[in-house]
A and B are shown apart, each in its own frame.
Chain A
Amino acid sequence: KAGVTQTPRYLIKTRGQQVTLSCSPISGHRSVSWYQQTPGQGLQFLFEYFSETQRNKGNFPGRFSGRQFSNSRSEMNVSTLELGDSALYLCASSYGLAGGETQYFGPGTRLLVL
């Protein structure tokens, strides 16, 4: 099976711009979660989507949003970028049906905001 893929891998934006990141889960997985990784805050949960519905959201401002399509692919959007949004954004997929399931991570998108 192909793994989780994320595009683009690297991105440079300026403050005030918006950005869209894409994640394609492992075939058959219906849950996609997004995480932000920074040196200062570590790995933080952004949100999870399952069957096109957001099931849970972490403690991030409304500038961070996401969606999921019928083929389980997911996108996250960050509007009005701030310097502090520079981070590695990771998505993970799983079946999303029960606790204890392994979440499989993609390679991440590294975002630099100038």
Chain B
Amino acid sequence: AQSVTQPDIHITVSEGASLELRCNYSYGATPYLFWYVQSPGQGLQLLLKYFSGDTLVQGIKGFEAEFKRSQSSFNLRKPSVHWSDAAEYFCAVGAWSGGYNKLIFGAGTRLAVHP
């Protein structure tokens, strides 16, 4: 069965520190992988996605993620966190099967940033 695991429910970092959010997936075929961010009371904004090619993907707001097939992981990183990065982050795998398209989300990681 397709699934996404985000092991860390809540992470707190200091402003300026580096960040890594973990994501592991289970999917039979080559996955389409996404990271979305959600600010309080808002919808989801796409940070970056991977579907083929270079395994290191650059996104918006200085985020990047690395696809590691051998570890079934797609971890999100940022070298220096800003206070405005405080939000909830969702990893998702895109299932394209039988002509339909849906996203399977992880439970999310809530990021708090200390000044």
Contact = CB atoms under 8 A, between A and B. Distances in A.
Given A42-B108, A105-B36, A99 B101 contact: yes
B115 interface: no
Contact of B104 (A45, A48, A98, A99): A45
Q: A48, A56, A99: which has the most chain B beta carbons within 10 Å?
A: A99
Contacts of B108: 42-43
A103 B101 contact: yes
A100 B105 CA distance: 14
Interface string B20-64: 000000000000101010000111111001011000000000000
B94 A99 contact: yes
Contact of A104 (B41, B46, B100): B46
A100 B32 contact: yes
B101 A31 contact: yes
Given A99-B94, A107-B43, A48 B105 contact: no
Contacts of A18: none
B96 interface: yes
A44 B41 CA distance: 17
A108 interface: yes
Contacts of A58: 102
Interface in B82-107: 90, 92, 94, 96, 98-107
B70 to A, nearest CB: 21
Q: A4, A44, A100, A108: which has the most chain B beta carbons within 10 Å?
A: A100
Contacts of B90: 43
Contact of B101 (A101, A104, A108): A101
A90 B51 contact: no
Contacts of A44: 105
Contacts of B45: 105
15 contacts: A43-B90, A48-B101, A48-B102, A50-B100, A56-B98, A58-B102, A96-B101, A99-B32, A99-B51, A99-B94, A99-B101, A102-B46, A104-B46, A105-B43, A105-B44
Shortest 6 CB-CB contacts between residues of A and residues of B: A99-B96, A100-B51, A56-B100, A55-B100, A43-B105, A105-B43
